[in-house]
Amino acid sequence: MSAFVARVAALAGVAEDRLQRLHGGDLSEVLMIPGGLVAKGGPAVPTEAAMLRALHAAGAPAPGIEGEYQDVLLLQHIDNDGVMSPRAWGDIGRALRDLHDHRGETYGWPANYRLGTVELDNRENGDWPAFWGEQRLAHTAAILDRPWRERVAALLPRLVDLLPPSPLAALLHGDLWGGNILVKDGALAAFIDPACYYGHVEVDLAMLHLFDAPPEDFHEAYGPLEPGWEERRLAYQLFPALVHFRLFGATYAPMVDRLLSALGV
């Protein structure tokens, strides 16, 4: 048993062998506690708790916080069956639009965060192309081999013309893909594992379309996008592709190469 299992067992007052590991948890340990609680470890429990509270304040479905410790977050267990449906996709579109309707004054978040070993530079910034180029793309590519760094660096000057200078600062989930969306009985149950910050709404949509294929029900529920979204989507998808390259290795090199090539670098 890991130190995390021992810690959760002590907090919950149960035997270690009564804890059940949950599927998923690629970047942190997740345990089911008898009685309907989930224990999650992570690099910044207080920051994740603040993000979940932000989702709740915006009216987005998310697990309730049942306990917050320095190294363990206790959450409400959300029953789910993983079966997507047109109705569920419509729910997701409407919920995401409602989330994005909550706005901040600038881009970023009050605290930095991590996706596994990848640090997110969330320093607040009023210049959206600079935030995306420097604090997302260049920052994430900084420890990759030189050819990758150089291609990302070559893209940065183009972002001034490619991205809007000052889109509305929407509340983003920040790590939106099918694995972080729970559904039950053909309906949306909850968004989980947020990496929130304020930014352009198309960021969440780009990641969702990188790893999933939302049907027309989603698009109709979410609503129309501004012209030029197709090219911007490539620049926004490059960030999660770089994150996955960092976390999981060369399997994601072709994805990064494809996106950089499509962006002309």
CATH of the domain at 226: 3.90.1200.10
The model's pLDDT over 174-184, given as tens digits with 9 standing for 90+, comes to 999 999 999 99
Q: Which pLDDT does position 29 carry in this prediction?
A: 85
Residue 160 has pLDDT above 90, yes or no: yes
Give the Cα separation of 175 and 191 in Å (integer).
10
Reduce the secondary structure of 192-238 to three states and give it as a string: CCCCCEEECCHHHHHHHHHHCCCCHHHHHHHCCCCCCHHHHHHHHHH
pLDDT of residue 70: 82
* Secondary structure E strands in 15-108: 20-21, 30-33, 37-40, 65-68, 73-76
pLDDT tops 60 at residue 42: yes
Catalytic residue among 91, 175, 193, 204: 175
Q: Looking at the structure, do residues 168 and 250 belong to the same domain, yes or no?
A: yes
Backbone phi and psi for residue 209, each to the nearest 5 degrees, phi listed first: -85, -15
Task: Write b or e for each residue in 85-109: b if 16 or more Cβ atoms lie within 10 A of its Cβ, otherwise e.
Answer: eeebbbbbbbbbeebbebebeebbb
Q: Is the pLDDT of residue 239 over 60?
A: yes
Q: Establish if 37 belongs to a structural domain.
A: yes
* Residue 154 lies in domain: 86-262
What are the pLDDT digits (tens) for 85-118? Answer: 999 999 999 999 999 999 999 999 999 999 989 9
**Is 170 within a domain?**
yes
- Would 186 be classed as within a structural domain? yes
Average pLDDT, integer, range 210-229: 96
Q: Which of 36-45, 100-109, 116-125, 210-219 has the lowest mean pLDDT?
A: 36-45
Task: Tell whether 66 and 106 lie within a shared domain.
Answer: no
Confidence of residue 48 (pLDDT cuts 50, 70, 90): very high
Quote the pLDDT of residue 22: 82
Is residue 185 predicted with pLDDT exceeding 80? Answer: yes
Q: What is the pLDDT of residue 163?
A: 98
Least confident of 26-35, 128-137, 251-260: 26-35
Looking at 76, 108, 127, the residue that finishes a domain is: 76
Domain-terminating residue out of 24, 51, 76: 76
Do residue 112 and residue 215 come from a single domain? yes
Residue 162 has pLDDT above 90, yes or no: yes
Domain boundary among the residues 42, 76, 110 is at 76
- pLDDT at position 261 over 90: yes
* Number of domains the chain contains: 2
* 175 is an active site residue: yes
Of the chain, the percentage scoring pLDDT greater than 70 comes to 97
**Pairing mode, strands 113-115 and 181-184:** unpaired
The three-state secondary structure class of 64 is coil
